[in-house]
Amino acid sequence: MQNNNRISELIKSKVSLAPMAGITDYVLRSIVRKYSQECLLTTEMISSEFLVQNVETEITKLDTSHHPIAYQICGHKPHLMNYSSKYLSQFADILDINMGCPVKKVVTGQDGCALMRNPSLAADLVKAVKDGTDKPVSVKFRLGYTADEMNYVEFGQKMQEAGAEFITIHARTRSQFYAGSADWSKIKILKQNIDIPVFANGDVVSIDSAIECLDKSNADGIAIGRGILGDPTLIHRIEHYLKTGEKLPSPTLEEKLNIMKLHLDEEIKLRGEKIAIKFFRKFYPYYITGIRNASKIRGVLVLEENYNKIIEYIEYIKKENLKYENCLI
């Protein structure tokens, strides 16, 4: 990690868990930590406006094993960001500011990637967060708002000048959302123009794509979001390759289904059975991707509300796919 002792002391891994709203909750962070003991975890995005009114929120739930962890906050009002910084400092190792979320309701509210169109306000937010904490402050942003507004180099420089000690950049514009391909080569230009560590984000879904991203971006590390959906072991497997040169295999079908069951069980402990089963529907497609008759299986799982029947069906999937695999031998 370049030229930043505080960050290098905190972040020992070249791979981190990127924040995803409604996804990287306490449970998923715990499962990722089960496989990777060193990666930087990041919470879901926490609205500073929401936090002022709801300090007792599930999003702030923390386990001691989660360290090192960044708590990500969003907002456009310096005084609320300062309050959030002060409150979250009791949990966080790093305070991360979201300036990259492309979702319409977020940017319409002047938060997220909308801040890339107002670098002066963005800098004031970094200063306000720094004034509220003695922890390092980081910023996550994109290449720009549109292809004609790619101001990521100047924006990164301004964030560094305001006091940011660490940057994560998603290599798409806001107008792209998640379409097309992440342009990792652009990150190399940012790296050449700032002195603080940079993690690359976007389209890292495997060990091979991680290698390619690091090569093209020259980044200090990579932040993985959607790539871990259905495979919480990915961060560990990339870390292992970067340390040893050995490519560990992806989880088998049985292993993926066992992780899925663990994930569901832990969500039930956190939220209660009825709420957790509905909440978990979004995860089924990722865990069963590549399974024979995946579409049919997904249809059954998302409609089922009885826990015992879900578990029975998971065991049925294991047996049926094992039979199919044996027929191919």
Name the residue among 164, 172, 114 with its Cα closest to residue 143: 172
Count of all residues that appear for the chain in the document: 329
Residues in Cβ contact with 152 at an 8 Å cutoff, skipping those fewer than 6 apart: 116, 141, 142, 143, 144, 169, 186, 190
Which residues carry out catalysis? 101
Cβ density class 266-287: b for 16+ within 10 Å, e for less: bbbebbeeeebbebbeebbbeb
What is the DSSP code (8-state) at residue 252?
P
Name the residue among 98, 85, 89, 84 with its Cα closest to residue 52: 84
Alpha-carbon distance of 214 to 179, in angstroms, equals 21
Number of neighbours of residue 319 by Cβ within 10 angstroms: 9
